[in-house]
Structure 1
Amino acid sequence: MRIALGQLESGTDIQANLAAIERFSAQAARDGAQLVAFPEYASYEKKVVDASFPAVAEPLDGPVGTALAGIARRHGVALVAGVVEASGDPERAYNTLAAFGPDGALLARYRKIHLFDAQGIGESRFIKPAPSAEPVVFGFGGVNFGLMTCYDLRFPELARALSDAGADVLLACSSWVPGEHKTRQWIALAQARAIENGLYVAGACQAPPVSVGHSLLVDPMGAVLTELGLEPSVAAADVSLERIAEVRRQFPMFRQRRLG
């Protein structure tokens, strides 16, 4: 299967963000991608999460979700993007990944588990954590995709739970906060999660200045198959179930691990 990574430079203009998602989805479809992944907070983003996030939050069947479903349908691709979802609490929203199929139907919803209360940022002040820590995996085109968001990448137990739930590809949709060593950590953690689980990691990231860019696809041996730079752009690459099986034959970690 061919998947695409759409690296955005999202801001507070929701319509402009949706227009960028539309353009990159069209390009991904022309490049033969069957699924395109966009970053965390693709529909609305600022340098620091604040009270405006719950203020713009919507249910997934609201205008933003409806627009994303329409983009997926128009271009015949599955589409995964980060949105600000209404939680029922006017002061805190959910940081949600929504996956739509080529028919516009909702395939999956993942609400971020690990909120970014680090580097002096308090995401949990305005964002609610997922009510459940259950892994979210959805199937599309014969491939199983596990969903995780940004800071989740630092928690190997979530990646392992997604792998145990059958994920072949981890979609790590992110707005990775810049800082000392942060780009190197982003790449290293994506490679580590791929290697230790024998699967692909697809990291779709926001571009600078809000994030570090460098969206990338890592194969089960940790090889970087494609990596974007600092500018908004889109790139497609292939994932192979045969490659996963081959690597897991070489390194049968799931049969060998001893826990408890």
Structure 2
Amino acid sequence: MTRIALCQIPVSTEPAANLRRALEALERAAADGAELAIFPEATLTRYGPRITDLAEPLDGPFVTALAEAAGAHGLAVIAGVFEPGDSRTGDTAQNGDAAKGNGRTSGTTPNGDTAKGNGRTSGTTPNGDAARGDGTPRVYNTAVAIGPDGTIRAAYRKIHLFDSFGARESELVEPGSAPVVVELAGLRIGLVTCYDIRFPELARALVDQGAELFAVIAAWGSGPMKEEHWTTLVRARAIENTAWVAAVGQAPNPEARDGFGIGRSMLVDPMGVVRSDLGPRPAVQTCEVDSQITIATRNALPCLEHRRLQVGRS
């Protein structure tokens, strides 16, 4: 059994306030015996024009503080941050096609090694706010994985950017290109960020790399059918891959007007059974992941072994 804390916190535009919430949630998770705490997408700062100034390299103060707390409590952490990017706001890279930048690099290499970065970006927020388009660097939307010793184990840069429902994340964010699986708390964990959940080929690539649990971090948007899409997609990724899914979204922030953050963090088992659903309010809940259930499910339903088609990019 592995004890995982779903840390459904509201996120503001102020990193200091978000860090305080995250550290309080980590204390609660540790007190409840969690071995891994998962936070939402964009835990560093809420989407908006200020992410162009607030993006930090992985050795910056926000991740450093999370890492120190992880080491102090002896539990692993996954959280969403923004890193300085390589390309510029006039570029239109999407779907993993990297745009050219000014030689600055940040984040992780495809094998998960941490790289340095010191750029800043500007652009468009997902809710359609105007971009400057002045050629300054964009950011990466990154899921950082920290071990219980406080070291960074991996970082995943979001591949599929939310250019839907009138939003243009790609004007602000540079896409990543490599799926990432990391071992934490005795589990092989595939990292997935928000809109990525709509692309089953990413989950299949992760399970082919040995993932037995998907950590899905999100700032899911509200709107007609959106919550139904979220719950359906989370369960679908579990069922079709006979894998656990720990999906953690931002709790609604009453001070924000952008509609992002619906809560509904969930733990779903490999048969698609919802083991926990946190609803819409801020919460920290510790759940158990049983790898024996994965083995039993895959023995009874060996669909991963029955595949006949190799699906690539459509």
Measured against the shorter chain, the TM-score band is over 0.9
Question: Amino acid of the residue matched to residue 52 of structure 2?
Answer: P
1:69-117 superposed Cα distances (whole Å, 9 cap, x missing partner): 1121122110110001112453310000011111110011000000001
Tell whether the 8 Å contact from 2:81 to 2:142 is kept in structure 1 after alignment: yes
What stretches of structure 2 of length at least 5 have no aligned partner?
A: 88-119, 122-137, 254-259
2:280 corresponds to which of 214, 222, 230 = 230
Taking the aligned partners of 1:7 and 1:34, their CA distance within structure 2 comes to: 16
Taking the aligned partners of 1:57 and 1:88, their CA distance within structure 2 comes to: 12
Taking the aligned partners of 1:88 and 1:55, their CA distance within structure 2 comes to: 15
Aligned to 1:204: 248
What TM-score, normalized by structure 2, do the two folds share? 0.79
**Percent identity of paired positions between Structure 1 and Structure 2:** 46
Taking the aligned partners of 1:20 and 1:233, their CA distance within structure 2 comes to: 11
Q: Does 1:183 align with 2:181?
A: no
Taking the aligned partners of 2:185 and 2:73, their CA distance within structure 1 comes to: 16
Taking the aligned partners of 2:283 and 2:183, their CA distance within structure 1 comes to: 26
1:98 corresponds to which of 144, 161, 171 = 144
Question: Amino acid of the residue matched to residue 45 of structure 1?
Answer: R
Task: State the Cα distance separating 1:211 from its structure 2 match.
Answer: 1.3
1:129 corresponds to which of 168, 172, 175 = 175
Question: Amino acid of the residue matched to residue 65 of structure 2?
Answer: A
Taking the aligned partners of 1:135 and 1:237, their CA distance within structure 2 comes to: 25
1:243 corresponds to which of 293, 309, 313 = 293
Aligned to 1:11: 12
Question: Amino acid of the residue matched to residue 74 of structure 1?
Answer: A
What TM-score, normalized by structure 1, do the two folds share? 0.95
Taking the aligned partners of 1:222 and 1:108, their CA distance within structure 2 comes to: 27
Two-structure CA RMSD over aligned residues (Å) = 1.1
Q: Displaced runs of 4+ in structure 1, greater than 6 A?
A: none
Q: Does 1:60 align with 2:69?
A: no
Higher helix share: 1
Aligned to 1:77: 75
Q: Which has the larger radius of gyration?
A: 2
1:141 and 1:211, CA in 2 relative to 1: closer, same or farther beyond 3 A? closer
Aligned to 1:42: 43
Taking the aligned partners of 1:223 and 1:237, their CA distance within structure 2 comes to: 13
Aligned to 1:219: 269
Taking the aligned partners of 1:237 and 1:59, their CA distance within structure 2 comes to: 31
Question: Amino acid of the residue matched to residue 225 of structure 1?
Answer: R
What stretches of structure 1 of length at least 5 have no aligned partner?
A: none
